[in-house]
Structure 1
Amino acid sequence: MLGRLGKKQMEIASSFLTSAGGFGGAAFVTLLYFTDWKVFVANIPFYGGKFAGQEEEK
């Protein structure tokens, strides 16, 4: 199957990379919004220290 991909198909695929990156980023942010975002944010340097002294809410 990969042998059938030529230069033109690679050019077409590369034109979609920015859109795919944008949609992927939006999907990731949506995932963070609907999940436990503190787990992810706690691992961001400098910003994660904001949650160091807080206990988990139940």
Structure 2
Amino acid sequence: MLGRIGRKHIETAAAFTSTALGFGGGAFLTLLYFTDWKVFVTNIPFYNGKFQGLEEEK
């Protein structure tokens, strides 16, 4: 199967790399927004304010 991948296939895949990374990054940020994954969200400026009250209760 790998023997059938030619230069044209590799060039086409390389052309879509930046688009794939953009959509993947957007999907990851959307996941963080909807799940409020505290490990990452506390490091986002202005958005981490919603967790400041939780840290004071500890």
TM-score normalised per structure 1 = 0.67
**Gapped runs of 5+ residues in structure 2?**
none
Residue in 2 that maps onto 1:3: 3
Equivalent-residue separation in structure 2 for 1:55 and 1:30 (angstroms): 27
Correspondences of 1:39-58 after superposition (within 5 Å): 39-42=39-42, 44=43, 54=55
Deviation track 1:16-52 (CA, whole Å, cap 9, x = no partner) reads: 001000000000001101113322234x5xx7xx868
TM-score normalised per structure 2 = 0.67
**Gapped runs of 5+ residues in structure 1?**
none
Residue in 2 that maps onto 1:29: 29
Which structure's residues are more often helix, by fraction? Answer: 2
Q: Which aligned segments of 4 or more residues in structure 1 are displaced greater than 2 angstroms?
A: 50-53
The number of aligned residues is: 51
Counting aligned pairs with the same residue, the percent is: 61
